[in-house]
Structure 1
Amino acid sequence: MSQQFQPPGNPFAGGPVPPGPGNPFAPAPPVRDNVGLGLAAAAVTAIAAAAIYGGIAGAIESEIGFAAIAVGFVIGLVAGKVGGPNPILGVVSAVFALAAVYLGQIFGIAIIGAEELGLSTTEMLFDHFSLLTDAWNAGKEAMTFLFFALAAFAAFSAAKKA
């Protein structure tokens, strides 16, 4: 009985094969690691999300708590996708989410107040901002802070997972 010699290791490894029709495995995409661009994208997204959130809240004249979670998620997702896996993006996304939810609520109150007082929303925001913050303070409750926390958590988680 004769035995054949088999070399150790992978018998199918003949060296690197360039990607193409003969190789079904494409190389891994390059790692994104642009923290500055991720922070800038998160800031722009936070401003846009705050405006949308406030516009919806002002139009229906009610706060939508679950939309606050969506605001946080979108901010974190954009930061993670654009900036890469840097852990600072999760923390900054959470802070941006808190600011965006607060500004969205203020914008919603400005829309409602502008209708009631016969002013423009811009006048409410720039000339009567202290009135808006007083109205926000008077209307805050435990659920407000719960949705702040959930928005920050959603932003942090989305930035980590993206």
Structure 2
Amino acid sequence: MSQSSPPPSGPPVDNPYAGQPGQQAAPPQPGFPQQGAPQPGFPMAPTAPAAPVRNNLVLGLAAAVGAAVVAAGIYGVIIGATKHEIGYAAVGVGFLIGIAAGRVGGRNPILPVVSAVLSLGAVYLGQLVGEAMIGAKETAFTFNELFFDHFDVIQEAWKAEADPLTFLFFAIAAYVAFTSARKAGQ
């Protein structure tokens, strides 16, 4: 009996697509382009997958309300410390509320509108906090007594000091909140 010997073969070729180094490359398949062969058409860069669309109304509303309360407090402290209404701070209030709503809530079309309304309320509340702080410095009452027990006096003082510029900054703050919520939600 004669035994047959295996056919002579050359050194193994490394195939990047084979499971183990040293395995032979598969023969080319007709109709499939080979690696390194020029491809017909235009070369295209790989695209990143689309970011998931955020559309969470409840979280966006909660973030906007939280930002409105914080921004109103900070704005009121600024007014109370400087004894002046600072319009750019009102714009910052609107921006903060809009960014919070858009980043957390996403593309929901209700969020920009709610952000604009909340910015109006936050600017008003901040101005009332500022009035109460100024009143507490000038009278024998504390801030808490003025703000919680004599709120009507604070509102009357605000009405007496409100001018057209006050309402202009209300409008600008609402506009900034609306646009920043739309842009942040994209």
Report TM bin, short chain.
0.7 to 0.9
Structure 2 counterpart of 1:64, from 66, 86, 98: 86
Counterpart Cα distance in 2 of 1:127 and 1:60: 24
- CA shift, 1:25, in A, is 4.7
Could you tell me how far 1:12 is from its partner in structure 2?
Answer: 6.0
Q: Which residue of 1 aligns with 2:149?
A: 127
Please, which runs of 5 or more residues in structure 2 have no aligned partner? 1-30, 34-39
C-alpha distance in structure 1 between counterparts of 2:134 and 2:83, whole Å: 6
5+ unaligned residues in a row in structure 1: which ranges? 14-22
Distance 1:160 1:154 in 2: 10
More helix by share: 1
1:36 and 2:55 correspond: no
Tell me how far 1:47 sits from its aligned partner. Answer: 0.3
Higher relative contact order (CA 8 A, sep 6+): 1
In terms of Rg, which structure is larger? 2
Query: What residue in structure 2 maps to residue 155 of structure 1?
Result: 177
* CA deviation string 1:16-75 (max 9, x = no partner): xxxxxxx97542221111011000100010000000000011011111011101100110
Write the letter of the residue equivalent to 2:178.
Answer: F
Question: 1:117 pairs with 139, 162, 180, which one?
Answer: 139
- Match of 1:69, as an amino acid? V
- Whether 1:90 and 2:118 are equivalent positions in the alignment is no
Identity %: 56
- CA separation of 1:116 and 1:28: change in aligned 2, threshold 3 A: same
* Separation in structure 2 between the aligned mates of residue 105 and residue 160 of structure 1, nearest angstrom: 26
Q: Aligned partners of 1:118, 1:28: CA distance in 2, in Å? A: 60
Measure, in 1, the Cα distance between the counterparts of 2:123 and 2:57: 23
Root-mean-square deviation over aligned CA pairs: 2.3
Q: Tell me the residue number matched to 1:77.
A: 99
User: Could you tell me how far apart the structure 2 residues matched to 1:24 and 1:111 are?
Assistant: 58
Superposition deviation, residue 120 in structure 1: 1.6
Deviation of 1:128 (Å)? 0.8
Per the normalisation by structure 1, the TM-score is 0.85
Q: Under a length normalisation based on structure 2, what TM-score does the superposition of the two structures give?
A: 0.74
Q: How many correspondences in the alignment?
A: 148
Equivalents in 1 of 2:61, 2:142: separation in Å?
32
